Chains A and B, each alone.
Chain A
Amino acid sequence: MYSELVMEHFTNPRNVGEIPDADGIGTEGNPVCGDVMRIYIKVKDGRISDAKFKTFGCGAAIAVSSMVTEMIKGKTLDEALEISKETVAQALGGLPPQKMHCSNIGAEALHKAIEDYKQKHSSR
């Protein structure tokens, strides 16, 4: 059902955990299937220096979380905002059609984390 890369990220997920002093936190869920992802980012000099995640969900959801956090490290916020459900799924070698919503949750959680960072930053 899943590509080898999806299974690799699912069985050995990268960046699992929380960042206690995160600069931005984004949570996204799918009320239909119940999957929930939370992404934490640290930002240094306009670039994402660290990212971690916590996910409640299926194999695809965990693999997407792992891939998203890998993809954004070192990127500027604008570059990270370009990550979409399609680019995440593509980076994982594709997802079954019924699992595409998982990559959507990952991209949305990331976007929310960046928004959170921007909000905190602009209010300072």
Chain B
Amino acid sequence: MRKVYLDHVATNPLHPEALEAMLPYLKENFGNPLSIYELGLKAREAIEDARGKVAALINANPQEIIFTSSGAEANNFALRGIAIAHQNKGNHIIVSRMEHHSILNSARFLEKSGFAVTYLPVDKYGTVNPEAVKKAITKETTLISIIHASPEVGTIEPIADIARVAKDRGIFFHTDAVASTGNIPIDVNALGVDLLSMAAHQFYGPKGAGALYMKEGIRITPLIYGGIQEGGRRAGTENVPSIVGMGKAAELARKDMDRRISHIKPMRDRIIKELLKTDHIYLTGHPENRLPGHASFAVEYIEGESMLLLLAGKGIYAASGSACTSKALKASPVLLSMGIPSNIAQGSVVFTLGEGTTEADVDYLIETLPQIITRLREISPYGKGWDHPEDLLMQKERT
């Protein structure tokens, strides 16, 4: 059966060149980077080389890169580390409703620890309004964190404008750029951010490697205490092979970015154009300001997990923000925050393209998905003018 992987926002295959770069550090070059003999020095040099490559990908200085175990750790570190380190100046932080769980749950942790948190609303495209950020600021605000690009709907936020608002008030600004780093050009200086999170596997690096960019001179409280690694800001023996793989992947992403974008964007546009021809299917996220390989939809009258299972049965692998795909059994908070009714949010399906995606893959998707939609609508009670789902549920509450 044909296999079509369209879930690149979940993860990516490791680039062969990144794997090649990693192998010596899994085998002969196994030294601890803190050791002072040759094996240790080789590992230390490899980490610093990778640091330089990751820094170059976002136009930062190498000393501004702190390696972490994941994008989620970088997000936790930024939010909790900055809020706690600067709580003598204030106890209020601002995040958006578009954020990843690693930001939202860190914000909730801070709330339980006595911080006040503002969760900013977004418009129908999932865009945060810089004016709303400005209005939410209080004299207690020390940190604003807004996602750079949504992995769920692909929307790219006006980060430079929001960062300017923060800078004008002397407030730290962090962006979760896990979904965007390595996939679109990022210049931390042009964006004006103080902190930025990234993850290697989002740009063909290994899983288990992430990084936090932190502008030089900023004070942060570590999440992990112990040794002096990462300038004393993140203890623990470094994951040398994964860091090396991240460095190589960053180097390749920088070199190949234009080619990668030119490869996937026209295919992404074709998916959107063709799939929108089906009745009662809607594009989610911003029509233009979106990740180049991201096509996300809400399909009315049917449910997302059913679509994913039937797509997988045809060899097409995708994602959904439907309640039934989340362990909490709640529809995606991101889709709901954009004003999408819960019954339509239930029909969410997300296709994300990558280097290996071909025109034939896109043809196959465009041919297969409408058939699956038709089939599921035949099973659904809502396909032929039945009561609105919410009416049925209200009916239940009345009985």
Contacts and interface: CB of A to CB of B under 8 A. Distances in A.
Given A10-B309, A34-B342, A62-B306, A54 B380 contact: yes
Given A34-B331, A35-B324, A58-B306, A16 B379 contact: yes
Given A11-B310, A29-B396, A34 B380 contact: no
A64 interface: no
A34 B324 CA distance: 9
B24 interface: no
A104 interface: no
Contacts of A32: 323, 329-330
B379 A55 contact: yes
A101 B305 CA distance: 15
B303 A29 contact: no
A92 to B, nearest CB: 15
Contacts of B190: none
Interface residues of B, number: 31
A10 to B, nearest CB: 6
A36 B305 CA distance: 14
Interface in A6-21: 7, 10-11, 13, 16
Nearest to A27: B392
Nearest to A56: B380
Contacts of B309: 7, 10-11, 59
A98 B305 CA distance: 14
Interface string B363-399: 0000000000000001111100010010011011100
B393 A31 contact: yes
Contacts of B91: none
Contact of B303 (A27, A58, A99): A58
Contacts, number: 81
B313 interface: yes
A34 B378 contact: no
A55 B342 CA distance: 16
Contacts of A98: 327, 329
B305 A59 contact: yes
A33 B323 contact: yes
A23 interface: no
Given A16-B378, A56-B380, A34 B323 contact: yes
A94 interface: no
B302 interface: yes
7 contacts: A27-B396, A31-B393, A33-B330, A34-B323, A59-B306, A98-B329, A101-B329
Interface of B: 301-303, 305-306, 309-310, 313, 322-325, 327, 329-331, 342-343, 346, 378-382, 386, 389, 392-393, 395-397
Interface of A: 7, 10-11, 13, 16, 27-36, 38, 54-62, 98-99, 101
